[in-house]
Chains A and B, each alone.
Chain A
Amino acid sequence: MADKREIMEKMWRYRTNIPVQAVRFIVLALKFAKLIKKSSH
């Protein structure tokens, strides 16, 4: 549990850090794109 808390604290610390968020934006966009592909039947 402590570990999880640490991970969330880290996410919190970097929540408005522009370079980190720019990378996260790309990672999340790729994830969304993959999932959107799964929904085209």
Chain B
Amino acid sequence: MAKVVVVGAGFAGHYASLVLADALLGKGNHELTVISRVPKFTYIPSLVWVGVGRMKAEETQFELKPVYDKLGAKFVHGVAKEVHPDDQYVVVELPNGSTQQVNYDYLLIATGPYLNFEATPGLGPDEGYTQSICTPPHATKAAAAYLELVSRMEKGDKVKIVVGTGHGTATCQGAAFEYISNLHNDLVDRGLRDRAELLWLSNEPNLGDFGIDGLEFRYKNQIFTASEVVEFLFEKYGIKWQVESHVKQVDENRIYTININGEENEIEYDFAMLIPQFKAQPIKWFDKEGNDITEKMTNPAGFVKVDAVYGKPYDELDGPDWPRTYQNPIYKNIFAAGIAFAPPGPLSRPRQAPDGTPIAPAPPRTGYTSELSGRAAALNIVDMVEGREPSHSASMAETPGLCVASLKNDLLTGGAVTIAIYPVARNRAVYGEYGRDLDNCLAEIGLAGAWFKWMLHHAFLYKLQAKPGWKLIP
């Protein structure tokens, strides 16, 4: 009998839990326990629509406990605070403030990002002046602030909207790109677009970098770049841009930036949605003597080390250095997936301003990548439970990135940029010059993408509730 514990129930953790439940429960008295800080699953991609007031947060969520009850798994609503890998238990803080010890034989950490608003003074909807769409409450608050802005515009006010990244090392540019595009189209529909100036503010080296070092694709014997596609779109939408920028500070009226050349700028704004830097969730690791071994188990940002090759300079980093099994090298019964695993390095080239301020996107781990790493980790745990070596892999240098970036959610007049990248992390050992298979990469603007995006919303919410036939949905 094996006790498997999953910490975090987002894309990586919840999907891994479904895979584990399917493979283990009902066979050999195995136990699966899922620990989650929030009692609901959120389909985060649709928070973009929540943030423009076109969807309610509840439409992106479902309760986790009934799903785990149905599968025969245990659910603990609480925050994992400590892991004791020698004694094999997790300390969980429950909503009433008490703590619970959850024992495991195998552990999967899938806690996603900690939204580090504190890294940028004045950033964020709780302690600062800017909006965020990263959580359901944030997106709901962003929608309320945006709709207030709309009513000002309806009275004739001219406004400035700034969307992008709020820190030099932020990631998740794709979500911000979707948000600014949805805002543009919403304002067009309301007949208010001429009253707003829209600015894309980002740490990317150029438009379309998205933290994945951009994207090239072959079409009609020509090589296009995501940069060209995004520039084309922003021209059509009348969106201005300032890239290569770190946000130093925000106050009620201004955003203070420094760019890669050291030039400082002050941007006045009426509404801003800026993605914060992502750190790992603050979980502490202790050995059997009670020594804090967090530094040994994680990288400096707190992400859990797995089977990657760490420490190589950017120019030497290549496909084979990316993790495959998501197994921790010290404690073989511990795995980490989704945003929680420590990548071997960035995808976009690290750069800094003359004063040393880093200005380069951190590597994103998107929903699909999170699911794939969660599934690989889950299947590797099953391998070990059944006495085999981990045999499943989902390296970002061997798997595709499939992303549909919404421009507007409407089945007749909507649009999206449908993006495919293969593989996500450049793998020059296999794919030579570009490190990617350009015939399997694409970025295309059109209504077809809006249909995909709508379908994905419904298909994911169906699949992740383990409804009949869920296993057939990829």
Contact = CB atoms under 8 A, between A and B. Distances in A.
Nearest to B446: A15
Given A15-B415, A16-B415, A32 B447 contact: no
Interface in B373-412: 376, 392-394, 398-400, 402, 412
B442 interface: yes
A39 B446 contact: no
Contacts of B224: 4, 7
A34 B437 CA distance: 13
Interface residues of A, number: 28
Contacts, number: 78
Q: Which secondary structure characterizes the binding site on chain B?
A: mixed
Contacts of A8: 228-229, 232
Nearest to B220: A7
A38 to B, nearest CB: 6
A12 B420 CA distance: 19
Interface string B182-210: 00000000000000000000000000000
Given A3-B222, A15-B447, A28-B452, A36 B474 contact: yes
Q: Which residue, A7, A21, A36, A41, has most C-beta atoms of chain B within 10 A? A: A41
18 contacts: A3-B222, A12-B232, A12-B445, A16-B447, A18-B412, A20-B446, A24-B444, A24-B446, A25-B451, A28-B418, A28-B452, A32-B402, A35-B420, A35-B440, A36-B400, A39-B372, A39-B399, A41-B398
Interface of A: 3-5, 7-8, 11-12, 14-18, 20-22, 24-25, 28-29, 31-36, 38-39, 41
Interface of B: 219-220, 222, 224, 228-229, 232, 236, 372, 376, 392-394, 398-400, 402, 412-413, 415, 418, 420, 422, 440, 442, 444-449, 451-452, 474
Instruction: Kindly list the 9 A-B residue pairs having the minimum CB-CB distance in the complex, ordered from nearest.
Output: A25-B448, A35-B400, A21-B447, A39-B399, A24-B448, A21-B448, A15-B446, A36-B474, A41-B393
